[in-house]
């Protein structure tokens, strides 16, 4: 490939004088995609992933907890209704702290990927967005210490109104739990590990706790090696969902309007398998059907269109 003198000069300048913020946007018939990385006015790293349907921002937020704040998704905007579906998403327990490095690792017309690092590479993720898609692909490359991922959906500090949970296989899993009469599990002294019979157990009771339930595994929740779970507003059908590997998440609790995942719970660090991939997605009015449909579409690859994840449509028209 031949380059003009002007093109060569521009490339040389870019390499010689790197900028602190990268902002790229491309328009397509099927949508556009945009990525931006940089530092805010507090000298904290941030990353923005945006397309024609959603806008996601990772950034630092201060909290009163002992860890004093961390960087996570504090904006996941559904543009069709101008609503922030979550201001505390893809967060973690412990002293993860602020981002210590952010890199744009993929800059293509059909997707953008940013690499996020915490604690000087103790925790590493790569997050990808596609044009005309409500889906974020998250590759969890490295998590040293205590693996923990939690999502809380809210809007300006409020919870999702009329929050309703949905999970693939939940009804069958409830029936299977009801068949377990082990008194030691049902009356476990620690509520965080107690086996209950509710369809969607409320915090602090878990819906999955395979290690503490003596290997009692949620087989009905397994859709081709993955979990599909979501929460939505029962009045307007908007909300968000997750697809996570079944073998990775062996302990899960439901929050008021979100989830608390514990990857590799009680599994020794040398037996934990990294990287693993999860998906975080929004739903635009379809409620439980759209959450389950989108999750299945991701897993079945039915939503892939020219290398990018498309939108779920009722009746299988993706």
In whole angstroms, what is the distance from residue 149 CA to residue 104 CA? 23
Summarize pLDDT for 205-218 with one digit per residue, the tens: 999 999 999 999 99
Residue 256 in any domain: the answer is yes
In this structure, are 196 and 152 located in the same domain?
A: no
Longest pairwise C-alpha distance within the chain: 78
In this structure, are 49 and 194 located in the same domain?
A: no
**DSSP type of residue 84:** E
DSSP-assigned letters across all residues of 212-251: TTTT---GGG-BTTEEEEEEEETTT-EEEEEEEETTTEEE
In this structure, are 112 and 253 located in the same domain?
A: yes
Residue 62 in any domain: the answer is yes
> Would you call 7 helix, strand, or coil by DSSP?
helix
In this structure, are 251 and 299 located in the same domain?
A: yes
Tell which residue, 134, 96, 76, 121, has the closest CA to residue 257.
76
In this structure, are 91 and 149 located in the same domain?
A: yes
Tell which residue, 117, 121, 138, 124, has the closest CA to residue 49.
138
Write the CB contacts of 140 (distance below 8 Å, at least 6 apart in sequence).
125, 149, 263, 274, 275, 276, 277, 278
Residue 287 in any domain: the answer is yes
In this structure, are 71 and 46 located in the same domain?
A: yes
In whole angstroms, what is the distance from residue 149 CA to residue 70 CA? 13
For residue 310, what pLDDT band results from cuts at 50, 70 and 90? low
In this structure, are 232 and 105 located in the same domain?
A: yes
> What number of other Cβ atoms are within 10 A of residue 99's Cβ?
23
Write the CB contacts of 211 (distance below 8 Å, at least 6 apart in sequence).
250, 251, 265, 266, 267
Q: Which domain holds residue 268?
A: 19-166+224-311
Residue 106 in any domain: the answer is yes
Summarize pLDDT for 216-243 with one digit per residue, the tens: 999 999 999 999 999 999 999 999 999 9
CATH code, domain with 88: 2.70.98
> What number of other Cβ atoms are within 10 A of residue 191's Cβ?
11
In this structure, are 71 and 184 located in the same domain?
A: no
- Name the domain count of the chain: 2
For residue 4, what pLDDT band results from cuts at 50, 70 and 90? low
For residue 146, what pLDDT band results from cuts at 50, 70 and 90? confident
In this structure, are 265 and 174 located in the same domain?
A: no
Query: What pLDDT sits at residue 62?
Result: 80
> Would you call 138 helix, strand, or coil by DSSP?
strand
In this structure, are 94 and 217 located in the same domain?
A: no
- Four-CA torsion 293, 296, 300, 302, nearest 10 degrees: 10
* Residue 55: its H or E element: strand 54-61
In this structure, are 44 and 112 located in the same domain?
A: yes
- Strand 276-284 and strand 238-245: the pairing is antiparallel
Summarize pLDDT for 66-90 with one digit per residue, the tens: 557 899 999 999 999 998 988 889 9
């Amino acid at each position: 490939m031949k380059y003009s003198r002007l093109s060569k000069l521009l490339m040389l300048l870019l390499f010689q004088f790197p900028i602190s913020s990268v902002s790229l946007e491309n328009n397509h018939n099927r949508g556009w995609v945009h990525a931006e990385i940089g530092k805010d006015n507090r000298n904290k790293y941030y990353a923005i992933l945006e397309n024609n349907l959603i806008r996601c921002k990772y950034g630092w937020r201060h909290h009163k907890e002992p860890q004093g704040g961390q960087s996570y998704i504090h904006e996941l905007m559904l543009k069709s209704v101008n609503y922030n579906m979550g201001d505390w998403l893809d967060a973690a327990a412990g002293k993860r702290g602020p981002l210590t490095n952010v890199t744009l690792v993929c800059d293509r017309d059909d997707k953008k990927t940013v690499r996020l690092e915490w604690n000087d590479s103790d925790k590493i993720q790569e997050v990808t967005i596609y044009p005309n898609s409500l889906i974020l692909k998250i590759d969890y490359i490295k998590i040293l210490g205590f693996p923990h991922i939690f999502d809380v959906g809210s809007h300006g500090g409020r919870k999702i109104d009329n929050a309703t949970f949905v999970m693939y296989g939940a009804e069958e899993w409830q029936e299977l739990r009801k068949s377990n009469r082990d008194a030691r599990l049902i009356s476990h002294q620690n509520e965080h590990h107690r086996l209950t019979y509710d369809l969607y157990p409320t915090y602090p009771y878990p819906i999955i706790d395979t290690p503490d339930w003596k290997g009692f595994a949620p087989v009905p929740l397994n859709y081709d090696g993955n979990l599909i779970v979501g929460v939505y507003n029962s009045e307007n059908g908007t909300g968000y969902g997750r697809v996570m590997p079944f073998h990775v998440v062996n302990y899960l609790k439901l929050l008021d309007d979100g989830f608390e995942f514990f990857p590799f719970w009680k599994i020794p660090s040398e037996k934990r398998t990294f990287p693993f991939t999860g998906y975080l997605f929004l739903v635009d009015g379809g409620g439980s059907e759209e959450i389950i449909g989108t999750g299945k579409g991701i897993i079945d690859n039915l939503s892939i269109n020219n290398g990018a994840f498309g939108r779920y449509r009722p009746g299988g028209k993706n």
